[in-house]
Chain A
């Protein structure tokens, strides 16, 4: 693992929707590189042919039956909303096609 540059950190911040000012970016770059250096110990672990642990649970096939439940009352739905019109959550105008899916 090579170290990350401030540019890399800025790119990660943009993926994570974070804004970093110059000082923070410089500080995070230092700190994160320190952590990455420390994480490098993993490279020495022989994991050849070892199956990854993807789930912590030992359960399999846990399902619910297809039975509708009572939804939240509308006043509860909007209780914490920063901006709504009583029907919709409002956000700054979404430009068609900028979606990612």
Chain B
């Protein structure tokens, strides 16, 4: 039995540690053994902190023995996306330019997890500096989709999603600027939540586009996501944009039924461009919600036609400034051959950044140059206002919006990485929640014939994670299938 702890949920694990049914050390060992057996193929983990993890587990067990109170994530094995700053190990952002960066501090989300007695197993792969939808742009290694090794796990939090789906961590910390938690959760078959902007501090995350960046958990169940959000959410004096709104107990909020809730179904999310099989699974999910007493209402989100464009302009503009600091002066890669300041910058950046990062920096620089600031950047910010308004209006008609997370399932390696437009367009259902800052999640809603997971995206009003999680939880309890674990090859 003890060997199978990796199959348990975070909630089951922490309950077992709290009651003494299992030791944190046994649990951690189970996860480490499972990772050793599987991750050679999957490639999710970029750093393994086995010794430190066992050390933490032992100290948790000791704490329990001494009768000290344990945190709400006691003994829960956690993996961290490479973009989360930690004193332990390296913080690379999966980029050449930060290959050896040892951060001198822990970010707030990491600190909160540690204070809740979570156990860090190590770090996991991502697209370089969180730019991408397939984890293919990582310079560290290749991560495969645990359900089909010829396909991508999604991105940018691909390592997080793959490690959770595979059972190599019970919880993973990811970040989401346009889709980066929900899309890999959908592709790899796990739950991924992007809460309201400001709910989780951004302090200590390698920033990308600060007005769009969100942190969030990837888990195997909705209940685990609620448990993680209880720990992660809250005001942080180190992040001026973190919300000071009170944080409810998300676990407690799950139980109430969903009778009478209005579920909005947008025609824009169910067009021909969405794979037929995906549409089929979403329709089944909607039927399930309806059978639970929720009322389906038709809504319209015409802004979906241009939110990818607004997103592209705003995100690349912010990226071009935010990443400027990676210059090889105070940390990071520097070519010792550089003889002038200019050479130093150019050589560091040209060798340190991959093509996707360079392309976005160039685009962002373009959007902020001369008249483009007004014609493109401010125009995109105005379009963002319209998108926000549109969602506000729609949320007077419904409580939750339901639809596919992505128009298609995980794609094969190399099929989209040379087509940036196609890659951006894949994210078009998820971008709205980043632009309008309301919470959204992806929960598995079935498998295609070919054995690839499909994700149901739910979105709710700003700060209404409670309703969002409640709908997802009741759906998950009643969806009529158990995703289980990918086969170990």
- Known contacts A35-B424, A41-B306, A57-B240: does B332 contact A16 (CB below 8 Å)? no
Which of B60-68, B380-388, B394-402 is found at the contact surface with chain A?
A: B380-388
Give CA–CA (A1, B312) in the complex, Å: 15
With both chains docked as a complex, state the minimum distance between the C-beta of B365 and any C-beta of chain A, in angstroms: 5
Q: Are A39 and B346 in contact (CB under 8 A)?
A: no
Interface majority SS (helix, strand, loop, mixed), chain B? helix
With both chains docked as a complex, state the minimum distance between the C-beta of B464 and any C-beta of chain A, in angstroms: 14
A24 CB–B CB distance under 8 Å: yes
B441 CB–A CB distance under 8 Å: no
Q: Are A47 and B379 in contact (CB under 8 A)?
A: yes
The chain A residue sitting closest to B366, CB to CB, is: A12
Q: Which of B327, B353, B365, B381 contacts A54 (CB 8 A)?
A: B381
A-B contact count (CB 8 A): 167
- Known contacts A38-B421, A89-B329: does B361 contact A45 (CB below 8 Å)? no
With both chains docked as a complex, state the minimum distance between the C-beta of B48 and any C-beta of chain A, in angstroms: 22
Q: Within 8 Å CB of B198, what residues of A? A: 56-59
B477 CB–A CB distance under 8 Å: no
A residues 57-101 touching B (CB-CB < 8 Å): 57-59, 62, 64, 72, 76-77, 79-83, 89, 91-94, 98
Q: Are B350 and A41 in contact (CB under 8 A)?
A: no
Give CA–CA (A34, B102) in the complex, Å: 38
The chain A residue sitting closest to B364, CB to CB, is: A16
Q: Are B309 and A9 in contact (CB under 8 A)?
A: no
Q: Are B362 and A28 in contact (CB under 8 A)?
A: yes
Give CA–CA (A69, B328) in the complex, Å: 27
Cβ-closest 7 pairs across A and B: A52-B381, A80-B331, A47-B382, A57-B241, A82-B334, A17-B345, A62-B240
User: Which residues of B line the A interface, CB within 8 A?
Assistant: 100-102, 104, 197-198, 210-212, 237, 240-241, 243-244, 305-306, 308-310, 312-313, 320, 324, 327-334, 336, 338-347, 349-350, 353, 355, 358-359, 361-363, 365-366, 369, 375-376, 378-386, 388, 420-421, 424-425, 437, 462
